[in-house]
Amino acid sequence: MQTGKKPFKNLVPGRDLFYVPKYQRNYSWDKKQRRELWEDLLESLDKTHYIGTFLIEDSDESDSGLYDEVGIIDGQQRLTTLLIMLFELQEQFDAHGREEYAVDILDNYLVASDQQRLRLQEDDDAKFFKKYILEDVIDTEKSTQSSNPEAEYTLDTPSKRRLADTKSFFREKLEDAPPEHTDYDDPVEFHTDLYSTIQNLDLLAYVVESRAEAARIFQTVNDRGKGLTDLEITKSYLMHRLALVTDDGPRDGNGEEEQRTEGLINIVQENFGEIYSNIEQITDTDVGSGLDEDQIQRYHFILWDPNWTTSYDKRYYQNHLEYVKKAFAMDNGELPEEIIEYTNDLKRSFQRLRELVTLDGINSNRIETRLENLYAVGRLGNFYPLLITAYDQYTRDHISEPEFVRLLEKIETFIVRTYLIEQKAADTGRTRAYPLARQLYYNDPGKQADDISPSSVDDVIDKLADHVHNYCDDDTLMDTLYEADVYSYYSDSNRKNELRYLLYAYELSLERERENIPFEVQKVVDNEDDRFTIEHVWPQTVSDEFPEHLHETINENSDRLGNLALMTIEDNAGNQNDPFEKKKAALDESKFRMLNEIFENMEWNEVTIDERERRILNVIRNRWPDEVARQKEESPPSAWQED
């Protein structure tokens, strides 16, 4: 293949077989990119259209010797998408009896002899692409093709789901052809013109002989398709810097320095390949679904960069890409080693976060339980850097299991008291949590920073305890929750999850062993399948079955914490407004222990509500303690206090 401008029909057909190198990310195009490509093609049915640059790694001869295998370094998302569309287009030609077009697509764009024109990374996606997306198209006799490939595969990764969505998107568009607002009446005519348009798409192909050369070109040519993330820009920038500072000799593939450059760039690519794999797994969890790779890179930057401060005008961690580039802009003689060290450290942060959110490889029930509680309560954004570095140090035996558990407990206490109980803004405590994370990060024996005073995990826990006391001490907690209209305080639909979490903590306290709890915390908090309600023992709506003299008292106390309980929808059916005696008869076999406790009472009144409320608040204060206040209470009085 030669470098130069060419139509798409001169890129794919021929004696080249394309493969996506293992260090590249999995398929990432989503609805937005699919729609934009489709609309671009519709607008270009009577004219040419430029689809950007394709960066191709020089060929190796395939096993058969008939074809050359070329790695696609930039453009793999566009190429994959176009070939999926062409597969669905040849299916339509075949269905409409236009076999000549179907065979043309098959022979020139999908299959070369008995091999696929495009092979994805050597992982489960490659098999999925071959068997599900292209339906084993290389088997011309259809002996291995399934009549129902959808039934044979689970869409268990984000990239598989995106591939399947792309296939479905183009299948539906082509089956419904011709589109509205076009001049076509005949679907075959539309399909034929669309095929011609795809064949004649303009592109610029760069064929490179080394990864160093690819790094140089990639810095300037990524001009179409899905916009690069900060992480992808970081990858290309670091490879470009390595190419500039290590490869000054002739580029004939034989020089020692050039081989060193290739080796260093290969390390960076492999590190980012693992990072991309971790991203897929992180974002495929409920906990990590709201994260993206740029956020996670920023979390690492908060740990790694020793220079940023928490002053408002210097929070440049928000522009982490700019400062990562600056960090590697000058060569002090050790730049290659520093780049490799950075990518190793970055990879480890992504790996640790993946282990945390998937609970994969966590060999401690105590830690797993604490993490599950944290994920149920949520609001972890300010604490991800601290979690990442603390867990990393735990895995390397720099932090013990009891220390890590204590840290998780203290983070949960901060979140519950600050965000759930006091309902402070999401950024509250950020300027305290981030520096603590960095101080712990630099407490690692292998790391140094002149302007940072490292903190041990015990120091971090103590400082978090101080912040808990400052944001929500016991007095503040009581002022907020005792004798208060708590149900209305948590009236927002998202806040109801938080109230369920507080009540679930009380439910746990009523059971001697965790195994006795019939419902998982996450399911209760999230109200899975709308099954878990918050019941008012005294109802919000007072019926005529209650004595009239109690109506005002009930209205004043119905939304108090002591009057609220968790209940399943099965328990609650038709009973919510009944008097206590009727509810007691109907709910004496509930699976929630707190309901059993409530209905052990002979009657329900202000006194029983107040007593139960105090018990719940004691559980909350003990589970998420204000340790600073406790230490003050336990300290012996000073001489002047005794006098």
Band of the pLDDT at 144, cuts 50, 70, 90? low
- For residue 360, CA distances in Å to 348, 366, 432 come to 15, 14, 29
Q: What tens digit of pLDDT does each residue of 180-189 get?
A: 888 899 999 9
| Tokens 């697509």 sit on residue | 105
Task: Please compute the mean of the pLDDT values over residues 117-138 and round it to a whole number.
Answer: 86
Tell me which amino acid residue 393 is.
Q
CA nearest neighbour of 116 among 56, 55, 60, 67: 67
Q: Which residue has the higher pLDDT, 438 or 123?
A: 438
Mean pLDDT of 426-455: 90
- Confidence check: pLDDT of 255 > 80: no
Tens of pLDDT, residue by residue over 201-247, are 999 998 887 766 666 666 555 545 557 889 989 998 998 888 888 75
As to burial, measured by CB atoms within 10 angstroms (0-12 exposed, 13-18 middle, 19+ buried), residue 640 is exposed
Q: Which residues pair with 235 in a beta bridge?
A: none
**How far is the CA of 426 from the CAs of 52, 379, 382, 407, 415, in angstroms?**
41, 8, 8, 20, 10
What mean pLDDT value characterizes the chain? 87
Checking if the pLDDT of 479 tops 70, the result is: yes
Residue 346: pLDDT band by 50, 70, 90 thresholds?
Answer: very high
Torsion of CA 503, 508, 511, 513, to 10 degrees: 170
pLDDT given at position 640: 43
Q: Where are the beta strands (DSSP E) in 282-365?
A: none
pLDDT at residue 288, as a whole number: 94
Instruction: Grade residue 62 by pLDDT with cuts at 50, 70 and 90.
Output: low
**How many H helices and E strands in the chain?**
28, 10
Judged against a pLDDT cut of 60, whether residue 85 lies above it is answered with yes
Residue ranges of E strands in 506-641: 532-536, 564-568
Counting residues of the chain whose pLDDT is more than 90, the rounded percentage is 59
DSSP-derived 3-state class of residue 53: strand
- In angstroms, how far is CA 435 from the centroid of its own chain? 23
pLDDT at 348: 98
Mean pLDDT computed over 280-304: 94
Mean pLDDT across 65-77: 84
What letter represents residue 563's amino acid? Answer: N
Distance CA 613, CA 208 (A): 72
Give the angle subtended at the CA of 560 by the CAs of 555 and 561, to the nearest 5°.
155
DSSP E strands, 146-214: 202-208
Instruction: Give tens-digit pLDDT for 578-603.
Output: 888 888 877 767 788 898 899 899 99
Q: Are 405 and 465 in contact (CB under 8 A)?
A: no
- Whether the bond between 178 and the residue before it is cis, its omega within 30 degrees of 0, is yes
Instruction: Provide the pLDDT confidence category of residue 416 given band limits of 50, 70 and 90.
Output: very high
pLDDT at residue 65 above 80? no
For the cut 60, the answer to whether the pLDDT of residue 314 exceeds it is: no
Task: Note whether 261 and 243 are within 8 A (CB).
Answer: yes
Q: Is the pLDDT of residue 61 over 60?
A: no
* 264: pLDDT strictly greater than 70: yes
CA 191 to CA 206: how far, in whole Å? 30
pLDDT bucket at 41, cuts 50 / 70 / 90: very high
Report the C-alpha gap between 606 and 562 in whole angstroms. 9
- DSSP assignment of 21-45 equals -TTS------HHHHHHHHHHHHHTT
Long-range contacts of 171-180 (CB under 8 A, 24+ apart): 171/88, 171/91, 173/38, 174/88, 174/89, 174/91, 174/92, 175/92, 177/92, 179/42
Predicted confidence band at 157 (pLDDT cuts at 50, 70, 90)?
confident
Cβ atoms within 10 Å, residue 330: 9
- Judged by average pLDDT, the poorest of 46-50, 135-139, 237-241 is 135-139
Q: What is the DSSP letter of 228?
A: P
Contacts of residue 192, Cβ cutoff 8 Å, sequence gap at least 6: 98, 101
How far is 62 from 58, CA to CA, in rounded Å?
12
Rg over alpha carbons for the chain, rounded to the nearest Å, is 31
Per-residue pLDDT, 578: 83
∠ CA(432), CA(435), CA(437), 5° rounding?
105
Instruction: Over range 400-427, report the average pLDDT.
Output: 97
pLDDT at 216: 65
Task: For residue 375, give the amino acid letter.
Answer: Y
pLDDT grade, residue 254 (50/70/90)? Answer: low
The CA-to-CA distance between both ends of the chain, in Å, stands at 94
d(CA 250, CA 375): 54
- Residues 3-32, mean pLDDT to the nearest whole number: 89
Cα gap 272→268, rounded to integer Å: 6
Structure tokens at 360: 């994969």
Is-contact 26 79, C-beta < 8 A?
Answer: no
Could you give the CA distance from residue 405 to residue 349 in angstroms, rounded to a whole number?
19
Note the pLDDT of residue 249: 47
Residues 197-201 have a mean pLDDT of 95
Strand partners, 207: 56
- The closest alpha carbon to 471, from 412, 428, 411, belongs to 428
pLDDT digits over 522-565, tens only? 899 988 888 898 999 999 988 888 899 999 999 999 999 999 99
Give the amino acid at 567. Answer: M
Tens of pLDDT, residues 355-372:
999 999 899 999 999 999
Q: What is the mean pLDDT of residues 610-623?
A: 97
